[in-house]
Amino acid sequence: MKTLKFKLYQHKRNRFLKRMINASGVIYNHCIALHKRYYRMWGKHIRCAKLQAHIAKLRKRNPFWQTVGSQAVQDICQRIEKAYQLFFKHNKKGVRPPGFKKVKKYKSFTLKQAGYKFLGGNRVKIGNKIYQFWKSREIEGTVKTLTIKRTPLGELFMVVVVNAERSRGVDDGSKSEVEIKTGKIAGFDFGLKAFLTCSDGTKIDSPQFFKQSLNAITKASRQHSKKLKGSTNRDEARKNLVRKYEDISNRRRDWFWKLAHELTDEFDVLCFETLNLKGMQRLWGRKISDLAFGEFLKILEWVAKKKNKLLVFIDPWYPSSKTCSSCGHILETLDLSIRRWRCPSCQSENDRDENASLNIQRVGSSTLGVGDVRQSQTAISV
């Protein structure tokens, strides 16, 4: 599967899509209300098929609901069913049941087999209306779903999931061999001081885009809070605040993509330590959100898969920082404030991050079965 995202051109007819999203939000809230009422009465949730049949009957009598395609209504019921299944399975871990959403903040609706048709060029027919989108790339393969998403600024995007053609060289869940170009393997350690520390001694600092724009965010947020609720000025201030956040997100994502391509061009195998992002979030809060390690790893995985490069993740409990990369001696404790330490066994002096990256490289290489990438024919499975 492959996901493509296109922006819809601004047009007056886009109000019909926004109306469909609003109607989807109303249907979603009605389904949640039915679930809560049914649980209070019978002590269990409604089956998805039963809920779909009930909503289909109500939809025939409500013209506003009929603006949403039947497939989109079925998808709403299925998403609520999945959310309740996750809640029943992981409620002890803090997972909450799905709740009500403000219609103005409801984001999207999804069409599957019917309700849309791609015309020639950059046009798509949704319902009875034809819309144009910015066709930044060709849509290759069989279209499985089409989702219309609304951003907080009111812009509309079209997200298309396609079953990519294997003849085009796009791997659809199958394994492919590592493409050997540089013959290099490297270990990387994430850190708060340096974003990435490579086993070859290179350190990559994060621009920390949120920290750079913190004053502008604070000013825009203060202006928004001063405006009268429900006024046009408050809505304009809200949009200005949203633009600040989107600018940060776009700059960060652009930097991630460029960095991912640089690393995959230089190395054939990249080794990382599995991170406990939720635990790090609790400890360091906003800084972890600004560094966005999880988002970078997702982008790196996608780029590595496209270029047939291998990502290796080692055990998160491996003591990479406390293990001497020269002799293998393991310290009992190592405080976070200590950035350099001397090994009591071999007397070698170790930098905390560089030492961890060397250990990650060594452990990652051992999982391949060979130390040299040139001899490895390990398959990628991302």
Residue pointed to by tokens 């708060």 = 192
Question: Residue 59 domain-assigned?
Answer: yes
Mean pLDDT: which of 44-48, 90-94, 105-109 is highest? 105-109
Percent of the chain with pLDDT over 90: 49
* CA gap 312, 8 in Å, rounded: 38
152 and 272 housed in the same domain: no
CA-nearest of 108, 151, 106, 107 to 242 is 151
* CA gap 59, 169 in Å, rounded: 44
* CA gap 110, 317 in Å, rounded: 40
Instruction: Give the CA count within 13 Å in the CB-facing half-sphere of 382.
Output: 25
Question: What tens digit of pLDDT does each residue of 264-316 get?
Answer: 999 989 999 888 877 787 888 888 888 889 899 999 999 998 898 988 898 88
Question: Residue 103 domain-assigned?
Answer: yes
Question: What tens digit of pLDDT does each residue of 254-271 get?
Answer: 999 999 999 999 998 999
pLDDT for 250: 93
Find residue 188's DSSP bridge partners. 198, 272
pTM for the structure as a whole: 0.80
CA-nearest of 328, 47, 350, 58 to 197 is 350
Picking from 137, 166, 195, the residue at the C-terminal end of a domain is 166
| Whether 352 contacts 321, CB under 8 Å | yes
Which pair of structure tokens corresponds to residue 224? Answer: 């928004």
* CA gap 156, 382 in Å, rounded: 30
| Whether 16 contacts 170, CB under 8 Å | no
> Length of the chain, please?
382
| Whether 111 contacts 126, CB under 8 Å | yes
pLDDT for 1: 81
Question: Residue 107 domain-assigned?
Answer: yes
Cβ neighbors of 46 (< 8 A, separation 6 or more) are 34, 35, 38, 54
Question: What tens digit of pLDDT does each residue of 24-42 get?
Answer: 999 999 999 999 999 888 8
Question: Residue 98 domain-assigned?
Answer: yes
pLDDT for 176: 53
20 and 138 housed in the same domain: yes
Residue pointed to by tokens 């103005």 = 104
| Residue 318 structural domain | 180-204+255-375
> Residue 339 sits in a domain of what CATH number?
3.30.420
Beta strands in the chain (DSSP E): 2-7, 108-111, 116-118, 123-126, 129-132, 142-150, 156-163, 176-177, 185-190, 196-198, 203-204, 269-273, 310-314, 340-342, 349-351, 379-380
Residue 329 has pLDDT above 90, yes or no: no
CA-nearest of 129, 370, 155 to 268 is 370
103 and 198 housed in the same domain: no
Question: Residue 380 domain-assigned?
Answer: no
| Whether 358 contacts 182, CB under 8 Å | no
Question: Residue 245 domain-assigned?
Answer: no
- Please provide the average confidence, as pLDDT, over all residues in the chain: 86
Question: Residue 241 domain-assigned?
Answer: no
Number of structural domains, the chain?
2
188 and 332 housed in the same domain: yes
Secondary structure (3-state) at 150: strand
* CA gap 218, 230 in Å, rounded: 21
161 and 190 housed in the same domain: no
87 and 194 housed in the same domain: no
